[in-house]
Amino acid sequence: MITPGRRLIVTADDFGAGESVNIAVERAHREGILTAASLMVGAPGAADAVARAHALPSLRVGLHLVLVEGRPVLPPERVPLLLDADGCFRTDMARAGAQIFFSPAARKQLAAEVRAQFEAFAATGLPLDHVNAHKHFHLHPTIAGAVLREAARFGCRGARVPIEPRAVIRAIEPPSRTYPIDVVVDTVAALCRARFRRAGLLIPDRVFGLAWSGAMTTPRLRGLIEALPSGLSEIYLHPGLDGGFEGAAPGYRYVDEFAALVDRSVADATRRAEVSLGGFADFTESQSEDSPEFEVADGRANSHRRENRKFRGSGDSRAAPTGQR
């Protein structure tokens, strides 16, 4: 088992959105501290992402459900109540959420689409490390129920529930403003976390990425690692080599987030803080003692079998590939 202390999952969202995102994910795992990625199975670059993931066995890959601002996996005629006139998922999450909650027909279509995305992930042949959703739409109670059913069916190990401790954020960089709706979101997320944990999913104690979504710069990422509380945390980012791919969010600093993941000072901070890195599968209670564990060495996240689960680190020893130490 991984020893208690500071444990961290570093996840890239939108894996498969485009080749520039996929290359950034691959490099951030090989050269930086990235340990996991969430795959958009219906996105234009999904096939390329899957091919890269198969070449990176230490990268933990999960499903990034898309039920808003994207295209369905099922034919549009199978899920018309979920789509706009262009055949894309609706962008008005409040109205879409209300329809899903109150309309039996919409709920049936939602359940079919969620299952189709889980099935598409299963078809990749990749182990299903975790599940989350674009725009955190899985916090919706109806969507959460559909996710739990399919997670059990497909052997999903963990899920993200975005509860971000603001005290840690304020200690690193005081916010310019606050949002009253955060209290509502926290309440919904807390209920969702309890529900998911009762179902047996591994849920991190806290998640970072909401306040600085699309703007997780090197100083912010380094600051989070230096201030990381004990327990299991997840930090999610959106790395890319550019922002020119289909569906790119306006204003997101994709290149800066990639740079943060591969920055040497971030890797150094991870070692100094003795942070254990991994994916959801690495932190499940069923993990055996000889399961692969991630180490940061020479600026790279590597997976190999080792006795010491913490990252104590000075020195310039390079991590060998799995099985060569």
Q: Which residues contact 233 (CB under 8 A, 6 or more apart)?
A: 6, 7, 8, 9, 204, 205, 206, 207, 208
Q: How far apart (Å, rounded) are the C-alpha atoms in residues 96 and 73? A: 18
pLDDT of residue 301: 54
User: Full-prediction pTM beyond 0.95?
Assistant: no
Q: Which residues contact 42 (CB under 8 A, 6 or more apart)?
A: 66, 70, 71, 72, 73, 117, 120
Task: Return the bridge partners of 301, or none.
Answer: 296
pLDDT of residue 176: 60
Q: What DSSP line would sit under 131-198, residue for residue?
A: EEEGGGGGGSHHHHHHHHHHHHHHT--EE------HHHHHHHS--S---THHHHHHHHHHHHHHHHHH
Whether domain 6-304 has CATH 3.30.450.20: the reply is: no
Mind listing the pLDDT tens digit for each residue in 250-294?
Answer: 889 999 999 999 999 999 999 999 999 999 999 985 343 333 444
Mind listing the pLDDT tens digit for each residue in 155-214?
Answer: 998 999 999 998 999 999 987 655 555 677 888 899 999 999 999 999 999 999 989 999
How is the chain split into domains, by residue range? 6-304
Mean pLDDT (the chain, rounded): 86
Q: Which carries the bigger pLDDT value, residue 208 or residue 300?
A: 208
Structure tokens at 241: 């080599």
Exposure b/e, 235-271, CB count within 10 A at least 16 = b = bbbbbbbebebebbeeebbbebbbbbbbbeebbbbbb
Q: How far apart (Å, rounded) are the C-alpha atoms in residues 248 and 254? A: 9
Helix (H, G, I), strand (E, B) or coil at 39: strand
β-pairing, 6-15 vs 276-277, is: parallel
CA distances from 158 to 36, 129, 276 (A): 12, 7, 17
Structure tokens at 158: 């963990």
Q: In percent, how much of the chain has pLDDT > 70?
A: 84
Residue 165 φ/ψ region, left for φ over 0, alpha for ψ in the -120 to 50 degree band, beta for the rest = beta
Amino acid at 260: A
What is the gyration radius of the CA atoms in the chain, in angstroms? 19
Give the residue-averaged pLDDT of 217-225: 97
Structure tokens at 62: 């999960």
Q: Is the dihedral of CA 30, 31, 36, 40 positive or negative?
A: negative
Q: How far apart (Å, rounded) are the C-alpha atoms in residues 142 and 215? A: 30
- Structure confidence at residue 222 as a pLDDT band (50, 70, 90): very high
Short-list 136, 222, 240, CA closest to 173 = 222
pLDDT of residue 317: 29
pLDDT of residue 242: 87
Q: How far apart (Å, rounded) are the C-alpha atoms in residues 150 and 4? A: 30
pLDDT of residue 325: 26
pLDDT of residue 289: 37
> Hunting for tokens 């991994």 — which residue is that?
278
Structure tokens at 272: 């100094």
pLDDT of residue 116: 98
Structure tokens at 181: 């709706």
C-alpha 275 chain-centroid distance = 18
Q: How far apart (Å, rounded) are the C-alpha atoms in residues 257 and 240? A: 7
pLDDT of residue 286: 38
Mind listing the pLDDT tens digit for each residue in 93-135?
Answer: 889 999 999 999 999 999 999 999 999 999 999 999 999 999 8
pLDDT of residue 177: 59
